[in-house]
Chain A
């Protein structure tokens, strides 16, 4: 990247550097604290037996199957929804604050008055959000692998990597949606509202719709279902699950960048 192009990514990166560090620490603490419980849990906490008493639908809905196994433990405590939800929230928040938030506050006017393509400014901010998301995923992965090794939680590295990749792509999907909305309409409330409603609705659909015979088919409309219905911590993940998240994410982001180039820049 040349100087001006690099600055279009580096400037927004600098502005969310502190938030990225805070989120990284929070994720690291969550993962490390959860994994640190594994030795005590494995040696007979009774939780596993208690879960076995729950109805099968509830166990499935909350990702508690095989809770006594390493994969089940990580799924139930972290990867059924905690880590993916945090990453989704971070992606939406980063995109919203770097695009609609900054434009809404009038802080981009000076940048748009410089000799840089306006779509490049917007795209640079989306890339910066993506880069910070990638950093958080890497931090989560490193802490996870380190903590697993420390407490001898035996988990297939490939499966764990696939789960993290799917979590990241799920976040990317919602980040792409936020880019699309911000490109179309520079209102923070609108971007956050639409992206979070889609994220929460999708999560609820994937977790709870399978409990109802009537609603169960609609669970497959949820990006959460596309990501995790195959239980990636246990089973090999079909390639289409990556693609069905990544391609719409890229398409939505491109749409947002295109739409941004066609509309007015919001004044302070």
Chain B
């Protein structure tokens, strides 16, 4: 059931000599009347990359994704996918990508196998062996009617559909929402396999550990704007570190003036604070002090994102 187009390998596509980003978004704005869902987003997704797309509910993640897929028409701004305009070249673009929607609503009175067959006919065929393999890995009974599927099983079906075809770009909107930890692990495995064969991934997620494990770069949205982007390590570097210092005598009163220290507190000979930014000024100061002990905790990635989400950063 695999036709020539569907059987096109990603290796061939990956060899296309171009350095341009696979996805380019510039000054994207999407308004719903008086509601400003997206307020000028710029982002690039490079070929072969896994980009984590993070943000609290209502930050504009799904709206951006739906604009990329031409499900929504931007109020202004420009989107290029594979160098093409989603509005003009939507069919060509969608033939090279798979999409997992944030919430999958399925036709009534169909089994999972029938849904796959129907979508397969729209895509010009599929490999039944691959379908069965994915169904087994995701523990999805293809005979089950869609109306009997739990949230988790609906999610499994959408993942099966996403990984069934060898596409160049996977657009995944909260792909593990509703999945148990075992299936989340399986998803990460599928993602890594897809990436190993050259697929590029646009991953919107609330699960930080999942993003941390899979993403090369992260873009964080808040209120329709990009508030941070970089590698996971770069974002971790922005996170607050918890610092505790014990002194032989009283805590020097001017310690709190060291750059980067916030939320300072003194409890007898013990000084506690949060450190934002480089640790060098603190170490330089403490080098000349009667310090008896010191503890610096690993930056908490979740804390870093919460800072970004809540405008504390």
Contact = CB atoms under 8 A, between A and B. Distances in A.
Contacts of A112: 69, 71
A106 B99 contact: no
A10 to B, nearest CB: 8
B104 A113 contact: no
B108 A114 contact: no
Interface on chain B toward A: helix, strand, loop, or mixed SS?
A: loop
A54 to B, nearest CB: 48
B26 interface: no
B122 A115 contact: yes
B80 to A, nearest CB: 17
Contacts of B90: 117-118
Given A4-B121, A8-B122, A115-B91, A265 B104 contact: no
B289 interface: no
A238 interface: no
B106 A113 contact: no
A115 B92 contact: yes
Contacts of B278: none
B122 A268 contact: no
B106 A114 contact: no
A135 interface: no
B124 A268 contact: no
Nearest to B121: A7
A7 B69 CA distance: 21
A262 B73 CA distance: 8
B105 A106 contact: yes
Nearest to B66: A267
The residue among A3, A6, A264 with the most chain B CB atoms within 10 A of its own CB is A264
B103 A114 contact: no
B8 interface: no
A109 B107 contact: no
B165 to A, nearest CB: 10
Contacts of A213: none
Interface in A198-249: none
A66 B161 CA distance: 62
B101 A115 contact: no
Interface string B53-84: 00000000010001001111100000000000
A113 B105 contact: no
A111 B122 contact: yes
B122 A7 contact: yes
Nearest to A2: B124
Contacts of A111: 119, 122
A156 B69 CA distance: 56
14 contacts: A3-B121, A3-B125, A15-B108, A109-B105, A110-B161, A113-B71, A113-B94, A115-B95, A117-B91, A262-B73, A264-B71, A265-B66, A267-B71, A268-B101
Interface of A: 3-4, 6-8, 11, 14-15, 18, 102, 105-107, 109-118, 262-265, 267-268
Interface of B: 62, 66, 69-73, 90-92, 94-95, 99, 101-110, 118-119, 121-125, 158, 161
